[in-house]
A and B are shown apart, each in its own frame.
Chain A
Amino acid sequence: MSAPRAPRPYMNPYLAGVGLGLVLLAAFVVMGRGLGASGAYASVVAAGVDRVAPTHAQANGFFSHYLAGEAPLKDWLVFEILGVFLGGFLSALVAGRLRWTVEHGPAMSDRGRLLYAFGGGALMGVGAVLARRCTSGQALTGGALLSVGSWLFIVTAFAAGYLAAPLFRKQWR
């Protein structure tokens, strides 16, 4: 990593949002589909299960759905997500924001924060799969397309977030 220097401030949020919206619009115009994230992870998990226990994976109604094509990882969302990793890295590199660290407040340990992150990830994995999409696929994509289920997802996800927020505030104090 380069010598420490002051990180550049983040972009104006509305400007970043418009940029993100234009990327989403480009996906609609070029591909006829929007953005996603959790679908890529489901493909990776299904491919992993298929690798370890192929008959078990093929017999499973959920995993087999992701294994229908010629190769589960040769998937649009998997390639898009690889791009997200790269794009985030390039942006932080240019802005001097690459840091090998764990984000948390002064009263929380690294280990504690990692456990919360793991637990939150597990819940989101279940929730996203049940809802069939996540913040990218429902909130951004379905939101712009005015899909009823996507707006239901947005409203319940934020309502649940605010309800549960006091339980997890100690991470940031």
Chain B
Amino acid sequence: MSAPLFELGAFGESTSLIIALIIGVAFGWFLEQGGMGNARKLAGQFYLTDLTVFKIMFSAVITAMLGLFWLHRAGVLELSLVYVPPTWILPQVLGGFVFGVGFVMGGLCPGTSCVAISTGRKDGLALLAGMFAGILAFGELFALLRRVYEATPAGTLTLPQLTGISYPVVVALVAVVGVAAFRLAEWIEQRGT
């Protein structure tokens, strides 16, 4: 095993910040290349006129998922050293709901708003200001919201752990369902025009 490099001590904190900047540049580059700095294009996802958001998001998820799987298989990457976001059932269902309403209302998400701003879209700036306001309000009301925020912790929980289906089978299933969903997305777009 030779990766993750940082977790195995290949470099320190200050180098990691330079790497953060480089990875961010590549992230922003591909978001803009795909049209994800444009709220009009993102909103099309919710009116079934332009399913670019879905196509980009799931081809990214499938690419990274397969990459992780094969690098782990090849003995290059130690998967247990990759940080898996922990599961909190109620906060993530409620948060997902509020987030989804905000997403279609605002037409951008937190990451894509940066690209909207740096390419000159003033609605991106308004959205970022709103996000700061929302986070500030949440923080100020934290005493009231804490019970919900800390409800139903499930720790690190993955789909293979939850279902008992082995990791390779889940990876294959997600990839197959993803490809089928891409075909469905193409069909929906064709039908609309």
Contacts and interface: CB of A to CB of B under 8 A. Distances in A.
Instruction: Decide whether A and B assemble into one complex.
Output: yes
Interface of A: 1, 10-11, 13-14, 16-35, 37-38, 41-42, 44-46, 48-49, 60-63, 74, 76-77, 79-92, 95, 97-105, 110, 113-165, 167-169, 171-172
A157 B139 contact: no
A148 B87 contact: yes
Contact of B135 (A103, A129, A136): A129
Interface in B30-68: 30-41, 43-47, 52, 55-65, 67-68
Interface in B68-100: 68, 71, 76-77, 81-89, 91-100
B9 to A, nearest CB: 11
A155 B62 CA distance: 16
B114 A130 contact: no
A78 B61 CA distance: 22
Contacts of A161: 45-46, 100-101, 103-104
14 contacts: A28-B68, A31-B16, A35-B111, A87-B27, A88-B37, A90-B29, A114-B123, A118-B127, A125-B131, A125-B133, A125-B136, A132-B86, A140-B60, A140-B61
Nearest to A42: B135
B164 interface: no
Given A20-B34, A45-B136, A102-B121, A132 B92 contact: yes
Q: Interface centre among A21, A87, A157, by most B CB within 10 Å?
A: A87
Instruction: Kindly list the 9 A-B residue pairs having the minimum CB-CB distance in the complex, ordered from nearest.
Output: A83-B24, A120-B106, A125-B134, A121-B130, A21-B63, A131-B95, A87-B28, A17-B59, A123-B102
Interface string B161-189: 11000010011001000000010000000
Contacts of B20: 31, 76-77, 79-80, 83
A137 B85 contact: yes
Given A30-B4, A79-B21, A86-B118, A124 B159 contact: no
A143 B61 contact: yes
A76 B55 CA distance: 28
Given A83-B23, A85-B117, A134-B110, A149 B157 contact: yes
B43 to A, nearest CB: 6
A126 B82 contact: no
Contacts of B86: 132, 147, 149
A25 B67 contact: yes
A5 B122 CA distance: 21
A83 B106 contact: no
Secondary structure class of chain A's binding surface, majority of residues = helix
B119 A99 contact: yes
A13 B157 contact: no
B57 A17 contact: yes
Nearest to B88: A149
A118 B130 contact: yes
Contacts of A32: 3-7, 81-83
B88 to A, nearest CB: 6
A103 to B, nearest CB: 5
A152 B87 contact: yes
Given A124-B102, A136-B109, A146-B65, 17 more contacts: A23-B30, A31-B20, A61-B146, A83-B24, A87-B31, A125-B133, A127-B101, A132-B95, A135-B112, A144-B64, A145-B68, A145-B85, A148-B154, A149-B85, A154-B96, A168-B43, A172-B40
